[in-house]
Structure 1
Amino acid sequence: MYPPLERLNLPDAEVYYAPHFFSPIASDLYFQELMQEVNWRQESVQLFGKQVPMPRLTAWYGDKGYSYSGLYNKPQPWLPVLLALKEQVEQASKQPYNSVLLNLYRSGQDSMGWHADDEPELGAQPSIASLSLGGDRRFSFKHRSRKDLKATSITLHHGSLLLMQGATQHHWLHHIPKTKHPVQPRINLTFRLVKG
């Protein structure tokens, strides 16, 4: 049995969180295996007419290709460890997934800017299952249009699962800010269903 996913109090959203989805031992093992087996890359994106390296390492695995920030991700074939994680996340979320984006945050200087996972290939109300392994990082939300709602943050722990679904991507942006505090490397896996 997996620990329950508790709904966060975010208007216009369906966000659920289990801070200890995996045990510390299982989380450590998965982290080490992914560090060694994943084909990590430093991709660049177009920003103000320049090619700028992303402030993190990434990898894309699955059945479908995917484009974001002007970057096309050709799918790499599933690794056994990724299939095992996908199956467990699907059981807990009761959602199917056919692809996963992995991000490796090497230090507090690696980050992710404000964005929503709202690409057309994901459909109108995508389900995004975000699994965190390694160092704790702050994960922030801000509403796209409601100025009465302040940005809010949670800490994503080693072995945690965050599920964003329903109209979340339509109404909210999210990001991982930089931090000057010493943090351990973190691997984030975002499972998604790419359509078409």
Structure 2
Amino acid sequence: MTTATPCLRHWPGWVGAAEADGWLEGLQREVPWKQESITVYGRRHAMPRLTCWMADPGCGYRYSGLDNAIEPWTPLTTAIRQRVGAAAAQEFNSLLLNYYRDGRDAMGWHADDEAELDPQAPIASLSLGASRSLRFRPRRRDTAPTLAVELGHGDLLLMDPPTQQHWQHGLPRRLKVEAPRLNLTFRVVRLPE
């Protein structure tokens, strides 16, 4: 059964502009950004954005045929992780960072529902830089309309369960956007017992 709307909590300007500016600059400089290739419908494509996977030891993550190499937490990402975890009342053990260099970089429709991820935990999404629209659509397209959340500099968005089970999200191209955007998505990876 599809929920009528995704379960979202949005805090515009969760981080003040000056602090968000510092985080944006620091992360652009210190994160080991990569342009990975993924498999879509059996073909390899360069992702239209730069990424980095930071996580605690043992928190591997695989999607679209890509095994993400675990990078160690930096002092800045550790501090942000603690603040986001306190706001979400959730301990996160992993972070996927996305660097959209301008409006040509994008992310297609998908759900963060890989087997490694805890389906009972929220996913926290922190936006820094240019404002972009995160779009949502139900997996069963006959059940509810598409909606969009405009995410600005310093905004925090929590996607609570069962959003990933019933909804997909994507970040479309916005060709008039020339400024960069960073998106930090904090997650909980289930560790083997």
Q: TM-score normalised to the size of structure 1?
A: 0.91
Whole-Å Cα distance in 2 between the matches of residues 74 and 195 of structure 1? Answer: 17
Amino acid at match of 2:55: G
TM-superposed CA distance for 1:124, in Å, is: 2.8
Segments of structure 2 that go 5 or more residues without pairing to the other structure are none
Q: Aligned partners of 2:51 and 2:165: how far apart in 1?
A: 24
Q: What per-residue deviation string (whole Å, max 9, x for no partner) do you get for residues 41-84 of structure 1?
A: 00001234332100000001111121111100121111000000
Q: What is residue 7 of structure 1 aligned with on the other side?
A: none
TM-score (norm 2): 0.93
Within the candidate set 127, 131, 135, 1:140 is matched to 135
Kept after mapping to 1: 8 A contact 2:14/2:156:
yes
> 1:107 aligns to what?
102
Q: Which residue of 2 aligns with 1:116?
A: 111
Amino acid at match of 1:26: E
- The unaligned stretches of length 5 or more in structure 1 are 1-9
User: Is 1:37 paired with 2:37?
Assistant: no
2:21 matched to 1:28?
A: yes
Task: Name the residue aligned to 2:92.
Answer: 97
TM-fit CA distance, 1:149: 1.5
Question: Which residue type is aligned with residue 43 of structure 2?
Answer: K
Aligned length in residues? 187
In 2 relative to 1, CA 70–84 (structure 1 residues): closer, same or farther, beyond 3 Å?
same
Deviation at 1:13, TM superposition (A): 3.3
% identical aligned pairs? 44
CA distance in 1, matches of 2:5, 2:180: 32
Equivalent position of 1:52 in the other structure: 45
Q: Specify the alignment match of 1:6 in structure 2.
A: none
User: Per-residue deviation at 1:108?
Assistant: 0.8
CA shift, 1:12, in A, is: 5.2
